[in-house]
Structure formats: structure tokens, C-alpha cells
A and B are shown apart, each in its own frame.
Chain A
Amino acid sequence: MSVPRFWRKQIARYNLVGTHCQKCDEYFYPPRNMCPACRREGEIEDFKFSGKGEVMTFTVIHTAAEGFENQTPYVLGIIKLEEGPSLTSQIVCDSKEAYIGMKVSPVFRKLGQDGEQGMIYYGTKFVPENARN
């Protein structure tokens, strides 16, 4: 992904900053600048999520996406945050340890890199709640 394309979303990725619609009280992560429910009537503000969440579903990826080859097998999940929205992220744990309903909390981690010399992407991954990094 290009540097500017990544850069624009850096705050959201680093700090789990999404958005909240004051009109309908829905929370969004990834952030949206238009409320999909209220559309133009919505009132969007930034919102920092606590990061507390639960694994809604997951998979263990053995055949990696391009650039993730060194990480296999890795656990990818959909995490439901306690404020409501869901997001896709890696879960840093043993692949046998993950289960649906597992409580997780966020950690700041390297996500990937453009080749050997390229830009390094950082962002939020999740760990089992009782595991401290």
C-alpha cells in the first residue's frame, strides 16, 4: 500500500480511533465520515475505542497473503468491540488457543512491510485478555 494511503489512516490504526454518530448513537470502526444509517442527517465525531472486545469468528491462515509469508500460520479474526462495531485483525496467540467468544485486548504491533527496504506498517493487533503481551 502506498505511503500516503497508509498515512491518512494512521491515527485510526495506531490508536483505534473510529467515529460515533451523535444522531443515532452508532459507533464505527474503521472510521466513516458518513453515517450509513442516518446518511447526510448524521452527526459524526471522532471516538477512541477502549479496545476491549471478543472474538466473533477467526481462522488460522496457512497460505499467506503476499507479504505475510513469514508469519504463517497466523490467526486472523473478526473482533467485536464492546462499543458495538467489528473489525478484522490478527490475534497474537497460539493458533490452538483461539476460540469464538475469547476476550481480547489491543496491542501496538508491526503489521507488515513493503519488501525488505520498504515502509513498515504499524497498527493494532489483539491478544487474549489475560495474556499481557
Chain B
Amino acid sequence: MRDVAIIGVKNTKFGEQWDRSFRDLVVEAGVGAVGDAGVVGEKIDSMFVGNMSGGQFVEQEHIGALIADYSGLAKDIHVPSTRVEAACASGGLALRQGIYAVASGMDDIVIAAGAEKMTDVPSAKASSALAAAADREWEGIMGATFPGLYAMIAKMHMHKYGTTSEQLASVAVKNHHNGQHNPIAQYKSQITIESVLKSIMVADPLHIFDCSPITDGASAVVLAPADIAHEFTDTPIYVKATAQASDTIALHDRRDITTLDAAVAAGKRAYQMAKMEPKNIDLAEVHDCFTIAEICAIEDLGFAKKGEGGIMTMNGETEIGAKIPINTSGGLKSCGHPVGATGVKQAIEIVQQLRGEAGKRQVDGAEVGMTHNVGGSGATAVVHIFSRDR
């Protein structure tokens, strides 16, 4: 197996983009990443596009070919392009497939992208599309929503560990604080614990400010074999680990609903592959689709003891400059969560941090970063570790 590096990155702006289409967004990200890497189209061997639900959000399937076509990679050069789907983990999984392609030696230059256009349908329709990531026959039919499922995780976490609504809110406050310095973020406004607690209740105990928004956006990276990465860039970022795990599709079938076993398993596999431990990680982008999800994530990945994720966040230990900076980008909460794009966008934040290009969000001396991308209520988890050093 070959070592793999990221040699180019590009995010579109994340937010409500009424004037732009799905294909506009992906092409901007893809062309931007290719430009950043200084690669020409003829050199591209394959592409993978993470997309959760084009069929429901824009009534378009066959996303792989569509994107190859509109990126100018279909005609004449016929670059193979594959759509990858794992609900909100689609982007992370597209990246993982790209890494496979390069690591195997089959392909050299590969684009891994992720995209979602969620605001072309009314928000009730968008929620319904998202609910398809849970068990439609046994959760959805009972009136379960995504906030509802995570609310049940939160309720249990509070019951078992004494986690409070204020601790949940502190996740959102921190992520908005980080997001104000991220040019792509959907929400740059600052919030307080009080304003989170005063915002309308979506599913008790989760308020609307505990939830990530509905967002349009696309992200793309260019991958290359580590051996030739320096031909394209002075600052290649190396993939130290890629790991994925599955769990039951329905929340009610989990061993312990406050622990996302798939995230624990993917995390363990990633640490093993990178020969690292949580203490080696300088910063992490985790899947904070809801505030409780970030608390579970830092526990599942070993940054906090089980049950202490809330206290740790409240104490500021996950802020930039503190013990383990989490979601320096602003996370899904402040950047927005275009479901298929998120996993790739997380990797781009780590790349920018490890290149030292994160501006006011920069974690001093960051050398190793992790991403954690979750599908559904935890049925898929994808974890990557990236490093400045090969």
C-alpha cells in the first residue's frame, strides 16, 4: 500500500445559496481544488463524490457522471467518477474511497469531493429527506426526526452522567466563536449560553441553537501518492489513517445509546493504523450535527472520559489554545451542514491548520489532526488522521 497525501483543497462558501445550483457548487469546489494542486485535467485518474440525497434535495441522481461532465472531465478524457453515499458521512466516505484508489496503486491523482444543495426544497421536505438516514420503517413511522433521535441521546446522557443543558449550549457557543473567523461559515454571529437556552425547543432538551442548519455547499480535495506530492506543493498533508465502522441503523438497537460504538471502533482502528493515541492529536474536527453529538464524539474518540464531555467543554478545554481544540472551523453548527460535503470540509480544515493557513483560527504548532464524520444517528462513522510529517 502506498502513502497518500492531500495536495489541493477548496471549499465553496457554506450557506443558503439561492442563486447557485448543485452543479455550480461542486464545479467551483472541484476546479478550485485542482487549481490549488496545480494539476491539469488530463492527469486526473478518477473522482469520488460524496452526496447523501441528490434524488430528494434536487431530484437528480447519477451525480458522479453529472459532476464529471460539468467539470469538463467526461468528454474526451472520460475520467471515471463515482458517487458515494452514507448519509451525513458521505463526504468522509468519498475521501476514504479516494485514498483507497491512490493507496492501492490503481490511480495517482484523484479528486474526492462532497456536495449537497439542501435549500431548493422547503424545510419540511429537507427534514424528511434527512430522516431517511434513520430507520424509516421503525423510527420514521413513529414520528422520529433527527433532532428527536439526538434528543433521546442527550436525555440519556443527562440522566446517566448529569450533563446539563448549559454544557450542551457551551458546545454551540464555542463553535460559533470559532466560526466567526472562518470565511466559509454560514453563521458568524456570536451566541451565548443564555441565547441558546432561550431559543425555541425543537426536541427536548435540544433547542434550535443546539442544531446544525440546512445548508448548501461543496468541498473538494486532490489526492496524490506521497512519493510525488512535492512535485505539486511545498506543503503536502499526509494521510496517516483512514477508518470506517458500522453500527445498527436504528438507535433503539444500540448497546448503549450514549456511546456511538461505530465512532469508537473507527477511532480505535485509526489510532492503530497511525500508531497514535488521543494525546498525539493536536486538533480535531468532529461531527457536531447537534451539540450532544460533539460531547459524545470527544468521549468516543478518547479526548474526554466517558460522561465528562460536557464538563470538559464547559471548562473551555476544547477551545483553540486549550487542551484539545475541537471544531476550529466552527463545526457543522457555525459553518452549516451540507450533509454530503461535511466530511470533506472537515479534512480541509485540518489541511489548512497543518499548512498553517488557518488565520485567526490557527492552532499554534499543529502537526496532527483528526476528522470524525458520522452518518445517521451513528450507523456509519468515518475517522481520518492527517499529519504534516510523512
A residues lining the B interface (CB < 8 Å)? 1, 5-6, 9, 30, 56-66, 68, 71, 74, 76-78, 85-90, 95, 100, 111-112, 121, 123
- Rounded to whole Å, the gap between the CB of B239 and the closest CB of chain A is 32
10 interchain residue pairs of minimum CB distance: A59-B151, A57-B156, A60-B204, A68-B143, A66-B128, A86-B252, A57-B152, A59-B203, A63-B202, A30-B138
Q: A57-B257, A64-B143 are in contact. Are A76 and B148 (CB under 8 A)?
A: yes
B residues lining the A interface (CB < 8 Å)? 124-125, 127-128, 131, 136-145, 147-148, 151-156, 159, 200-206, 208, 250-253, 257
Interchain residue pairs with CB less than 8 A apart (21) = A56-B156, A56-B257, A59-B152, A60-B204, A61-B145, A64-B143, A64-B145, A65-B128, A65-B143, A66-B128, A68-B143, A71-B143, A76-B142, A76-B144, A76-B148, A76-B152, A78-B252, A88-B139, A88-B144, A88-B250, A88-B252
A121 to B136, CA, bound (A): 14
A-B contact count, CB below 8 Å? 107
- Rounded to whole Å, the gap between the CB of B151 and the closest CB of chain A is 4
CB–CB B138/A87 < 8 A? yes
CB–CB B139/A59 < 8 A? no
A83 to B160, CA, bound (A): 23
- Rounded to whole Å, the gap between the CB of A132 and the closest CB of chain B is 22
Query: Could you say which of B124, B142, B151, B159 contacts A100, with CB atoms under 8 Å apart?
Result: B159
- Rounded to whole Å, the gap between the CB of B196 and the closest CB of chain A is 15
A-chain residues with CB within 8 Å of residue B131 when the two chains form the complex: 65-66
Query: Could you say which of B142, B148, B250 contacts A111, with CB atoms under 8 Å apart?
Result: B142
User: Which label, helix, strand, loop or mixed, suits the secondary structure of the B interface?
Assistant: helix
- Rounded to whole Å, the gap between the CB of A107 and the closest CB of chain B is 13
CB–CB B257/A65 < 8 A? no
B-chain residues with CB within 8 Å of residue A68 when the two chains form the complex: 143
A-chain residues with CB within 8 Å of residue B139 when the two chains form the complex: 88
- Rounded to whole Å, the gap between the CB of B118 and the closest CB of chain A is 15
CB–CB B137/A61 < 8 A? no
CB–CB B142/A66 < 8 A? no
Known: A65-B128, A76-B152, A88-B252. 12 other contacts (CB 8 A): A1-B140, A57-B156, A57-B159, A60-B204, A61-B143, A61-B202, A61-B204, A62-B201, A62-B204, A66-B124, A78-B152, A90-B143
